[in-house]
Amino acid sequence: MEIGPLLILAVALAGVVGLTLGLFGGGGSILMVPLLSYVAGMPGKEAIATSLLVVGSTSAASLIPHARKGHVRWAQGLVFATTSMLGAFGGGLLAESIPAQLLMLGFALIMLASARGMIRGRKNPGGASLPVWLFAPVGLGIGAVTGLVGAGGGFLIVPALALLAGLSMAQAVGTSLLVITLNSAAALAGQLNSVALHWPLAMSLAVTAILGSLLGARLSHRIAEHRLRKGFGYFVLAMGVFVLSQEVPAPGGLAIALIAVFAGLLMLLCRKVPALHARCPLAMKSGA
């Protein structure tokens, strides 16, 4: 793979990926996989495997400042990670037999679901804790997503930790970085059976992302979390629509993109325009 302007741009944008990990405790691979696929021009499966390496190493680096601030609940994180690592390894092995286009379509759908959750927010963060054994099926499911589509799972892990373990938002973010680190390592081990990485490029991406993650960790307590979450959610929504438009053959991809944009605008109008609020479906109004 020749190092050209687009690859240099991809390395620079990896800093944005690291920044989101440091700020949110997740979302890095949501950006990294499309970045590698459509900017760096990597095949889908190589992009997923490279994403796991970059996101995993970046999460490990970002974990340190969060741990120093006491925002990592080690016991809950390790219990959650143990089962999710099993799911991640299995998902990584299963990915070998699934077409790359299907993986990317699945990734796009996960992006759209994640964007909706980020925009709506969590209605009841820090809920009652459930028995530890109930973490097993949740961890397996999130781990399987990690292995299949290269998603570290932070956008799923953070609300799970807040609701199931009763953690504060700061603790959920910090603890999710521990889980993402272990999940990414397990999924990468499964992926490397069938995918060869471009190691110089992968390491360059990782270094840039780590620098961004350290900055994100410093900023995470200085910026209003709900504003960051919603802004990032809309950005993820746009990226998900873009991926769908690339993977679904035209004119189907264009139709999906237009429908998604229209739905997003309608949701925004339902929330912001009082005259429309009473006429909108409940699902459109609930993001307020």
- For residue 126, the model assigns a pLDDT of 45
pLDDT confidence of 243, banded at 50, 70, 90?
confident
Rounded Cα–Cα distance for residues 62 and 45 (Å):
26
For residue 281, is pLDDT > 80?
no
pLDDT confidence band for 57 (50 / 70 / 90): very high
**Weakest mean pLDDT among 94-98, 173-177, 195-199:** 94-98
Does 37 have pLDDT greater than 80? yes
Q: What is the pLDDT of residue 287?
A: 44
* pLDDT on residue 108: 78
CB of 169 within 8 A of CB of 125?
Answer: yes
The pLDDT assigned to 282 comes to: 47
**pLDDT at 212 > cutoff 80:** yes
Q: Which range is least confidently modeled, 125-129, 222-226, 236-240?
A: 125-129
Is 79 within 8 Å of 135 (Cβ atoms)?
yes
- Position 129 confidence tier, pLDDT thresholds 50, 70, 90: low
| pLDDT band for position 288 (cuts 50, 70, 90) | very low
In this predicted structure, what is the pLDDT of residue 272? 55
The two tokens of residue 94 are 């299963």
- SS3 state of residue 218: helix
Q: Tell me how far apart the alpha carbons of residues 133 and 82 are, in angstroms, rounded to a whole number.
A: 12
Question: Three-state DSSP class for 38?
Answer: helix
Quick one: pLDDT at residue 225? Answer: 63
Is the pLDDT assigned to residue 53 strictly greater than 60? Answer: yes
Between residues 166 and 276, the one the model is more confident about: 166
pLDDT for 28 equals 72
Contacts of residue 46, defined as CB under 8 A and 6 or more positions apart, other chains included, come to 36, 195, 196, 197, 198
pLDDT at position 111: 73
pLDDT, position 284: 45
Nearest CA among 64, 55, 37, 54 for reference residue 174:
64
